[in-house]
């Protein structure tokens, strides 16, 4: 496919996304219907789609409207590539008079939901401008070296044998930032043999901050795909249980644990295993800290959805509190940068549960390289 044809394909996919279809599904459906597109074409179209979603507001202004065509045209104008709209072959038609470029205003340049800007500004303080700019770009690709099977140097060497360049990242001691050939990771031997796992550096730092020790009984209450579960298992010899409200999210976890050389027990009724020495609640949240990876998430978030998320977080914390043994730990984490979901949520929990006290809390920023994350450690008296 020519660059122009890739732009046209991205327009088609974005129109589906704007109509309500999830981006991943729209990309998959386009790929299945476009057998002529090679792996490089599919990757390029995907990059255009996600770049346009990260910069949706400013691209719509530059491109003349909130349509698939407007987003891609605006994105290309910002990159000095408007010439791709030539109408030649499978390229999009040249811009018409109604598609005149308009300079984005101050709010549009943020590429954030208008209604959430005041709260984000208050939550981030002096970092607001820099963080909002960071969210307009792609996130780095991070790996975690699995200490059960190798160390950082061994993982770097194994990846290099297959042309994947990675280097240690200071945010977490097992974190590797991939700087070349990230798309080769999942077919690499290092990945298939469990030497490395894909995991954001801030997510790794959260697990590193947990007070884990051999012999502890630990529950990952909102395990999802199990990234933090496996990271905890690599840190200490634990009796480790994983739970998720939607068990299907954990479908791949047993195989991932086998590959990583660790043991994890899945449970649909975590109360049956209580009490625990540590319960990790990586709670459902706005996802504002990971909008570089999931840019459509920021445009689909509504006030009502955020209110429901806050209620869910509170209910989960109330559910797990009795599962923590006396002297045990409750770790609360989100990939959010909103104060209401983070320290605000912890304050209200402590007010409801005076048997717990705050030990430490910490916010991780995209300005440190990884996603925006928050962790609070509270201990039961």
Mean pLDDT of successive 10-residue stretches along the chain, which has 381 residues? 95 96 94 89 95 97 96 96 94 92 94 97 97 96 96 96 96 97 94 96 98 98 96 97 96 95 96 97 97 95 97 98 98 98 98 97 97 98 93
Residue 235 is classified by DSSP as: H
3-class SS string, the chain: CCHHHHHHHHHHHHHHHHCCCCHHHHHHHHHHHCCCCCHHHHHHHHHHHHHHHHCHHHHHHHHCCCCHHHHHHHHHHHCCCHHHCCCCCCCCCCCCHHHCCCCCCHHHHHCCCHHHHHHHHHHHHHHHHHHHHHCCCCCCEEEEECCCCCCHHHHHHHHHCCCCEEEECCCCCCEEEEEECHHHHHHCHHHHCCCEEECCHHHHHHHHCCCCCCCCEEEECCCCCCHHHHHHHHHCCCEEEECCCCHHHHCCHHHHHHHHCCCCEECCCHHHHCCEEEEEEECCCCCHHHCCCCHHHHHHCCHHHHHHHHHHHHHHHHHHHHHEEEEEEEEEEECCCCCCCCHHHHHHHHHHCCCEEEEEEEEECHHHCCCCEEEEEEEEC
180 and 261: one domain? Answer: no
- CB–CB of 17/45 below 8 Å? no
Q: Where are the beta strands (DSSP E) in 29-168?
A: 141-145, 165-168
Residue 71 covered by a domain = yes
Closest CA to 330 of 307, 352, 305: 352
Residue 20 covered by a domain = yes
91 and 169: one domain? Answer: no
168 and 182: one domain? Answer: yes
Q: Which domain holds residue 183?
A: 141-199
Counting the structural domains of the chain, the total is: 3
pTM assigned to the model: 0.93
The distance from CA 209 to its chain's CA centroid, rounded to whole angstroms, is 19
251 and 278: one domain? Answer: yes
What integer pLDDT is reported at residue 320 of this predicted model?
98
Q: Which residue has the tokens 């194994």?
A: 158
What integer pLDDT is reported at residue 378 of this predicted model?
98
We report the CATH number of the domain holding residue 361 as 3.40.50.150
The distance from CA 76 to its chain's CA centroid, rounded to whole angstroms, is 26
What integer pLDDT is reported at residue 35 of this predicted model?
85
**171-to-98, 99, 128, 336 alpha-carbon distances in Å:** 48, 44, 21, 18
State which of 199, 229, 245 marks the end of a domain: 199
Residue 156 covered by a domain = yes
State which of 199, 217, 243 marks the end of a domain: 199
145 and 191: one domain? Answer: yes
What integer pLDDT is reported at residue 36 of this predicted model?
87
Residue 94 is classified by DSSP as: P
Residue 130 covered by a domain = no
215 and 308: one domain? Answer: yes
185 and 234: one domain? Answer: no
194 and 207: one domain? Answer: no
We report the CATH number of the domain holding residue 181 as 3.30.70.1170
CA distance 342 to 337: 7
153 and 266: one domain? Answer: no
Residue 31 covered by a domain = yes
> What are the phi and psi torsion angles at 194 (to 5°)?
80, 15
238 and 333: one domain? Answer: yes
State which of 184, 199, 214 marks the end of a domain: 199
Residue 328 covered by a domain = yes
User: CA 85, 88, 93, 96 torsion: positive or negative?
Assistant: positive
Residue 117 covered by a domain = no
CA distance 321 to 319: 6
327 and 237: one domain? Answer: yes
345 and 251: one domain? Answer: yes
What integer pLDDT is reported at residue 223 of this predicted model?
96
Residue 260 covered by a domain = yes
């Amino acid at each position: 496919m020519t660059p122009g044809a890739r732009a046209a394909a991205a327009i088609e996919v974005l129109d589906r996304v704007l109509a309500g279809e999830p981006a991943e599904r729209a990309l998959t459906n386009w790929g299945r219907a476009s057998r002529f597109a090679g792996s490089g074409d599919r990757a390029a179209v995907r990059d255009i789609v996600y770049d346009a979603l990260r910069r949706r507001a400013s691209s719509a202004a530059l491109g003349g409207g909130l349509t698939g065509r407007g987003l891609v045209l605006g994105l290309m104008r910002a990159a000095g590539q408007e010439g791709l709209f030539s109408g030649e072959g499978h390229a999009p038609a040249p811009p018409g008079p109604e598609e005149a470029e308009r300079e984005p205003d101050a709010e549009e340049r943020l590429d954030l939901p208008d209604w959430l800007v005041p709260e984000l500004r208050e939550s981030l303080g002096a970092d607001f401008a820099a963080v909002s700019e960071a969210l307009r770009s792609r996130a780095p690709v991070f790996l975690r070296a699995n200490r059960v099977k190798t160390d950082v140097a061994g993982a770097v060497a194994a990846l290099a044998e297959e042309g994947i360049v990675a280097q240690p990242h200071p945010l977490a001691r097992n974190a590797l930032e991939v700087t070349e050939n990230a798309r080769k990771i999942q077919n690499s031997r290092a990945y298939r043999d469990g030497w490395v796992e894909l995991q954001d550096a801030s997510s790794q730092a959260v697990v590193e901050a947990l007070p884990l020790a051999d012999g502890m009984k630990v529950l990952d209450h909102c395990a999802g795909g199990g990234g933090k579960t496996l990271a905890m298992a690599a840190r200490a010899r634990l009796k480790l249980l994983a739970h998720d409200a939607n068990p299907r999210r954990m479908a791949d976890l047993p195989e991932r644990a086998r590959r990583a050389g660790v043991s994890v027990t899945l449970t649909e009724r975590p109360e049956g295993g209580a009490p625990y020495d540590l319960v990790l609640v990586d709670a459902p949240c706005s996802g504002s800290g990971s909008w570089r990876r999931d840019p459509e998430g920021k445009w689909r978030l509504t006030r009502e959805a955020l209110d429901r998320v806050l209620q869910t977080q509170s209910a989960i914390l109330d559910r797990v509190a009795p599962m923590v043994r006396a002297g045990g730990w409750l770790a609360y984490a989100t990939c959010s940068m909103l104060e209401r979901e983070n320290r605000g949520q912890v304050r209200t929990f402590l007010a409801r549960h005076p048997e717990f006290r705050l030990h430490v809390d910490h916010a991780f920023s995209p300005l440190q390289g990884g996603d925006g994350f928050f962790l609070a450690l509270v201990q039961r008296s």
